[in-house]
Chains A and B, each alone.
Chain A
Amino acid sequence: MDWRLIKTQTHSAAMNMALDEACLEAIAKGESAPTIRFYRWQPSAISIGYFQNLEREVDLDECKRQGVDFVRRQTGGGAVFHSFEGELTYSIIAPVSIFPLNIIDSYQEICGYLVDGFNKLGISTSFKPINDIITFDGKKISGNAQLRRQGVLLQHGTILTTVDVKKMFSLLKVPDEKIRDKMIQTVEERVTSIQAINPNLTFAQIEAAFIESFTANKTHSLGDFTDQELAAASGLAQTKYSTVTWNFLR
């Protein structure tokens, strides 16, 4: 199986989600190769899981005040702050038949590529079910979310390069229930980032490590989205991912 690797591109929140969907549709139709893509978000944005209530999760006034965008993902999971400066996102989109049928097992397999990537950077991590990567001291450094549709699996997730926890939580409404459950004094203790562990690592080095770990043992070619995918994505960004109907769906 020949994979398509699309190196880091920067797009708006709506366009990033639209590209994921357009790519999935193209792979489902057999028009595109299974794809690994890396991307950044500009402007910085909050994405919420498909099953979340936007207004309950996100301080929309604060987002507007800080110039931070927002979008609902197709995937489940929680609210995520995609800082342009501090986060690299990946998507892997491929026929579901090449992954384990069990959802958690497939998370473990794909998260294994992340663990390998962190390893290349000298950072010891492990997969924590359901969908997290944690460091040796239990801090979250990556969150992931998956969907399966039309015979295609899409998993995307965050790779935290730097994290401004105060800014992150100024934009999110974290329910008391969660904090109480995890028994922590401050939300700053829950997450970490690559550059908090090793400030000398550059974005280029980080990107290179994960490109290597995701493509290991895979026949792959460096590529880009097709004209059809780009056209489809532009349409989806406008008619779906930028709309009140979609973003306030639940």
Chain B
Amino acid sequence: MNTFVQYKVPDGKLLQLEKLTTGQYKITGDFFCHPENIIESLESALTGTNPEQEITNIFAKPENQIIGFDTESLLNLYNQLQ
């Protein structure tokens, strides 16, 4: 079973998603997140009951600026690992 996928977001950055043996996810790549600790929120949302909604909510918060990938890119990679 595939545990690592990546995608170069058009006009964005390289986004990588890894499914760990613990069932948790790790998001890596050469993107930017402001504040940086959003990344843990995104990773946690992927193991939640409704990842799509939770990821969308995180992106929608005005205080969060995620540069280099979007909701769709992340959820596409997530779906490839299911």
Contacts and interface: CB of A to CB of B under 8 A. Distances in A.
Interface of A: 49-53, 56, 74-79, 103-104, 130-131, 145-149, 175, 177-178, 180-181, 250
Interface size class of B (residues with CB under 8 A): 20 to 34
Contacts of A131: 32
A52 B67 contact: no
Interface of A is mostly: loop
Interface in B38-82: 39, 65, 67-68
B31 A51 contact: yes
Contacts of A49: 30
A177 B6 CA distance: 8
Interface of B: 6-8, 12-14, 16, 26-36, 39, 65, 67-68
B14 A147 contact: no
A53 B14 CA distance: 12
Given A145-B32, A177-B8, A180-B8, 18 more contacts: A51-B30, A51-B39, A52-B30, A53-B16, A53-B26, A76-B33, A76-B68, A77-B32, A78-B14, A79-B30, A146-B32, A148-B34, A148-B35, A175-B8, A175-B14, A177-B14, A178-B14, A250-B28
Nearest to A49: B30
A192 B61 CA distance: 38
